[in-house]
Structure 1
């Protein structure tokens, strides 16, 4: 009976398998001409993004290309090739994801095909509460009630939390120290945003009568769209 090689300190079985798989992949492709090398890197990056369930980070993509390869230039070339196609590679929540173009949303809905993405259905009021939290976070349920002129129920908050759009923020410094609410990374992914700076201009929502910054709390300064933290 032979003894196996002892485990490296701090290495789990999963991490060892991951290290081995990365060593087996020829990332540099030095034996290929430059044009074919770049093409192979493009195809690898597209394959990873296509297969992934969530936006793929720069660090993840760097594992399948050469160390001096520019991920940004690869993405630019891929997007150029996808012009005229009904889908694109989009920067979302700190990574990249394959998304269908908005112009084809109605066709996808009309087909009634089963799809793996898209935000869950929300009531009109739930959607507006989510919009208010996105702009005014961290915000308490009490402040949300002031914005809408009626109580925002715990059930409404629970529905948004169950959809993974909300998380608890810091306790409010107001009496009773109520919980505040903030949006999640999943919120960005579901609505195809890179950061909260991609939210529409809040003044347009105010002009349409959908939100009011001054109604929430007269002594609170609410941000403009450009001032929202990413």
Structure 2
């Protein structure tokens, strides 16, 4: 491990996260030890966080010339043989166990037992919101040909998968619904651009409105507890603490 090719640093930079003085440039250390210290700090911050950590937060603990993408790459390389990994999700980075260990984790009963899998109706509604947001409850009801209940919407809100969006330009200015960062995190997406391409699925004959209404969800939007087909969605990942 060397610092060769890494961007130059500005010396003497310090910051005060949490009111404590922290040396971020580490100019007193040789390049290799400086890089290792930055790696340790970044991994420690991500490990201690309960949610994905964005770039601007990680930048508080490393030098101004430090390339965070290279730091992340080096951390990922060191975790290659471990049962957990560093993933980009919901606009940040997070430690998560690898999908191959999902069954072992369930068998050991270390996953929160009060997490209920989404019902088919909830999963379908969430999928439609994800693809067509911002969307109103009446628009969702029209799509499914039956009323989407307030209770169903409340269930998705209670799990922080959706939130109120802008009011729609319709009579009464009803609220629309949009997905949240929790949705991205739970289903393993970094951004909404990672959703399976809806048009491509239709063109390939893998999805149609009829199949959608029948409960045939695109890969990537399945229930968090219903992925026995070997981790198709990335949903069954457990954060390492």
TM-score, scaled relative to structure 2: 0.73
SS of residue paired to 1:54 = coil
Distance 2:46 2:115 in 1: 19
Number of aligned pairs? 194
Offset from partner CA, 1:55-75 (integer Å, 9 cap, x none): 111111111111211111100
Partner of 2:182: 186
Distance 1:18 1:39 in 2: 20
1:157 to 137, 153, 158: 153
1:125 to 118, 121, 128: 121
Partner of 2:141: 145
Distance 2:24 2:19 in 1: 13
Q: Gaps spanning 5+ residues in structure 2: where?
A: 1-15, 215-241
Is the Cα–Cα contact under 8 Å of residues 130 and 179 in structure 2 kept in the other structure?
A: yes
Are 1:49 and 2:51 an aligned pair? no
Offset from partner CA, 1:10-64 (integer Å, 9 cap, x none): xxxxxxx84641x2x2211222211111111111111110011111111111111
Describe how 1:192-203 pairs up with structure 2 within 5 A.
192-203=188-199
Distance 1:185 1:58 in 2: 15
Distance 2:165 2:121 in 1: 21
SS of residue paired to 1:43 = helix
Q: Which has the higher helix share?
A: 1
Is the Cα–Cα contact under 8 Å of residues 134 and 177 in structure 2 kept in the other structure?
A: yes
Is the Cα–Cα contact under 8 Å of residues 120 and 163 in structure 1 kept in the other structure?
A: no
Distance 2:19 2:174 in 1: 49
1:74 to 58, 71, 74: 71
Are 1:60 and 2:42 an aligned pair? no
The structure with the largest alpha-carbon Rg is 1
Q: 1:36 to 1:122 in 2, by over 3 A?
A: same
Distance 1:191 1:119 in 2: 14
Distance 1:115 1:60 in 2: 28
Describe how 1:80-229 pairs up with structure 2 within 5 A.
80-115=77-112, 121-203=117-199, 204=201, 206-207=207-208, 209-210=211-212
SS of residue paired to 2:211 = coil
The alignment's C-alpha RMSD in Å is 2.5
Larger RCO, structures 1/2 (Cα 8 Å, 6+ apart): 2
Q: Gaps spanning 5+ residues in structure 1: where?
A: 1-16, 213-230
Distance 2:116 2:146 in 1: 24
Is the Cα–Cα contact under 8 Å of residues 93 and 188 in structure 1 kept in the other structure?
A: yes
